[in-house]
Homo-oligomer: A and B are copies of this chain.
């Protein structure tokens, strides 16, 4: 944990690499403060000097570019609120257990990002006709194991050209109105709205326009769905966010005072927008529509709330499920995959309502 990140509220899952998640009650606000925002690193956090930093844009382009930090921030900037969720979020709750960092439900957050549109840079670089993908290369590198052998490699991920040209994709240098911190990719990271976090490459230093699909380690062997019995040829890449919701209040195990109580949380999707959130206070027997709070913001999560009259003493299982405008609903149970990616199973917490006389 680096001093500049604060992060006292985060739960550490791994020191090397630095992986931390947010306890659900700390995800109470729409904007997640930076010191409460989850961290997922693959390798040691690189120390990148802003004054020496260069971004190169190369490959299938007419004009190769090299930008300094000063060059980048002097360009027109865009400001947007985008949520990120680690593809391994909720992995701890996969059955049978899945391989990887054991995130519970807190590897997710919603922040304000300021930066330059990737589409603008690509236009300026004059992408050639044969281009199909755009590769983002981070400054982080280290060892990964594959079939018993150690591989030395850096973190790289590519996007289909059409997705890279989405005006929402930013080269962000500010997070929540402050310069990016080292843990979050300083000085510059990619932000890809609607995709799982692995696409939002941190410590960005190279963009390569490709004429054929990229098949590197983090594209082809990690961040792929490996279902039961599937042959390697049928593995699919992890891409856009699934429809999902979490309960941030009450927390699991909470003693809820008898009377009216506001259950609340967040919901999101990578396909359109959140259309409906339903809550059950009886373990899933009956469901009621929650209220969607505020306006829908593309790329951001949505707050929802539901008033519950906790009038009877006992133990109660509260569940939430979201449906998006593409008609997708959270599954229960979720189909298994080896690394437990994209687990969007229905979130449930159990709470106790004490007898009134006990208070």
Contact = CB atoms under 8 A, between A and B. Distances in A.
Interface in A312-343: 312-317, 333, 335-336, 338
Interface stretch (A109-117, A154-162, A226-234): A226-234
Interface of A: 93, 95-99, 147, 226-232, 252-253, 281-283, 312-317, 333, 335-336, 338, 348-350, 358
B312 A282 contact: no
The DSSP consensus for interface residues of chain A is loop
A229 B348 contact: no
Nearest to A358: B147
Contacts of A99: 253
Given A97-B350, A350-B338, A283 B315 contact: no
Given A97-B252, A336-B350, A283 B229 contact: yes
A96 B229 contact: no
Contacts of A283: 227-229, 335-336
A317 B96 contact: yes
A338 to B, nearest CB: 4
A103 to B, nearest CB: 15
Contacts of A335: 283
A231 B147 contact: no
Contacts of A313: 231-232
Contact of A252 (B96, B314, B333, B336): B96
Contact of A317 (B228, B315, B350, B358): B228
A93 B97 CA distance: 10
A314 B336 CA distance: 13
Nearest to A317: B228
A330 to B, nearest CB: 14
A333 B333 contact: yes
